[in-house]
Structure 1
Amino acid sequence: MALKSPAAAAEALIPQFKLERLLNQDQAGRRIVLLGTIASKPAILLAERAAFATDTAHLSSFTSSLANIKNLGANDIYNWFLASSTSTSDSASQPPDLKLNLIYPCGEQHIKKYSQQGLRMVTETPEIYHNYVKPFMQRKREEGRLNWVFNIIEGRTEQEDVIYRERGEEGFLLLPDLNWDRKTMTSLHLLGIVERRDIWSVRDLQKKHITWVKHMREKLLDASVKLYPDIEKDQLKLYVHYQPTYYHFHIHIVHVALEAGGTQATGKALGLENIIGQLEMLQAKPTEAGYEAGMADVSLTYHLGEASELWTDVFQPLKEGHGGEMK
């Protein structure tokens, strides 16, 4: 009888693995660590989803190979789904292994955002904010890119997903972020959206807003742990993006075990508690009667993609000594 090759002997071990329990799950559910036995001896098995094939042949047939596509929600041009990556005869009994987001129809700004590109670190001074970035924000808001947010606030879409809501001038609501699969607790990702429309970003927060922001933080935490009782408050972190994807103030609430990719990294995310602390330390300028200090008075450093309009129209010209060109 021929002896098995080392590779064949190793491959024969996997079918013999007998599960005892799950040890860990990370990378937003894409990797699991299992404890079990093989031939009565303890063994640990780490399983991680393979990278997507990127050759044209595979990509051309990608969508046609999906099965059990289930829509989780739709709002304006945004749609999100769960699906199975295999369309075999028994795929109906398999849990979905893909989370899909569809932007349709998409615009040039979406293509730039999601394209691979180099990054640049920039420092936005109060002067650059007032002279260049705030007018940029105004222009983007006037282009109608906030329709999907207003749909939620005004009760036209996603109302079945709203976890908590307070109405009024200082109202806000809480709902799942469209990037969460809504089942993996260690990758929990919720979104707190304010009702008021005069706060576009963290830059609009002032000392007078401290009590409101603290109240909102506590209510968001309370509502999150009430709906998901397996999670405690100190297992959640709250942050805001700057620059944000859209200019209507919102707060991200995520599980602390959610691995910090680019969206939680330094240069993109600002901890809400740190923002509150910074607001508390700011002092009004004594020469300006009635002046209200705020986040518009500090310099913020963050990263930008080289394809973003803020880089090409503002910070690159400033770097080259030409001044920002608001196109």
Structure 2
Amino acid sequence: MNCSAIRPSQANVCQEMLSECDLDLDLKNDRYHTYDGTMDSKYQPVRYSMTYPATELHIAKARSAPTEIWMETKDMFERLHRPFISSQLHSLQWVYNILDKNREKCNEVDRIVVEDPDPKTGFLIVPDLKWDGKDMKQLNLCVLINRRDLPTVRHLNADHLELLENIFNKSSKEVSAKYGVPEKQLRMYFHYPPSHYHLHVHITSTYFGQGCNTERAILLTDVIENIKLKSSFYADRTMSLPLRVGHKLHKIFENE
């Protein structure tokens, strides 16, 4: 049950559940919080997450809605998508809290598992909030680059190859060593469009299938090789753009 997009009757159940739970704060970062706790047996089995206060984008993401696959040309990106990206950059504070190691606002800093401090080619890796950190078949990590000027794969070119190759080489070795997962069983990929507009790479076990949808995921190794073929490969090409019906970006494209 996701409490950011529920009907009034469900809201009452959520409120009742929360009032009867013994919760301890696990992680906090901006509006995102994760709690550990116990729940009365009458609510079992259940898993729920709560984002408060939820923005319009949080609610749209949580609602059940079909996905449409649009073909985004270079022109469409420049006219429609790029302005939308600019309007969303204010929502990246939770990313900057981690990069700045702001422990007052973000105890997720203490979960950093790999870090390269180089301002141009460096990054840090944190576990995805949905992973319990125990089941290696469900391994789910996020690579956040130190640079703050690259929102998506559309913005990458040959000038960024050193960054991308550093992420691939260092992440695969250090994640494999830390978690005991063979390098060839690590899947490293971007999403397009991403869930947030600060360039990041997902690392999951090849056992784990969630999030690697063919219409949205682009392997890091493919991005590197394509940019080697042509520096402006992702800036120039027409790209598949899966959009959930009702999402703000979908409305922008639909009203074009």
Q: TM-score range by the shorter chain?
A: 0.7 to 0.9
CA-to-partner distance for each residue in 1:31-67, whole Å, 9 max, x for gaps? xxxxxxxxxxxxxxxxxxxxxxxx8585564334545
8 Å CA contact retained: 1:80, 1:100: no
Unaligned ranges ≥5, structure 1? 1-54, 89-95, 283-291, 318-322
The match for 1:106 among 54, 57, 77 is 54
Q: What is aligned with 1:224?
A: 175
The match for 1:75 among 23, 29, 36 is 29
The match for 2:202 among 252, 255, 259 is 252
8 Å CA contact retained: 2:188, 2:203: yes
The match for 1:154 among 84, 91, 100 is 100
User: Displacement of 1:99 after TM fit?
Assistant: 5.5
Deviates more, 1:191-200 or 1:267-276: 267-276
Is 1:278 matched with 2:238?
A: no
Q: Which has the higher contact order (CA 8 A, sep 6+)?
A: 2
8 Å CA contact retained: 2:121, 2:166: no
User: Displacement of 1:174 after TM fit?
Assistant: 0.7
Q: Which has the higher strand share?
A: 1
Q: What is aligned with 1:237?
A: 187
Q: What is aligned with 1:135?
A: 83
User: Displacement of 1:296 after TM fit?
Assistant: 1.1
Unaligned ranges ≥5, structure 2? 1-8
8 Å CA contact retained: 1:177, 1:189: yes
User: Displacement of 1:185 after TM fit?
Assistant: 1.3
TM-score, normalised by the number of residues in structure 1: 0.68
Q: What is aligned with 2:18?
A: 63
TM-score, normalised by the number of residues in structure 2: 0.86
Q: Which has the higher helix share?
A: 2
Q: What is aligned with 2:241?
A: 302
Is 1:170 matched with 2:121?
A: yes
1-side partners of 2:57 and 2:209: how far apart?
A: 27
Residue correspondences, number: 242
8 Å CA contact retained: 2:187, 2:203: yes
Q: What percent of counterpart residues are identical?
A: 26
User: Displacement of 1:132 after TM fit?
Assistant: 1.4
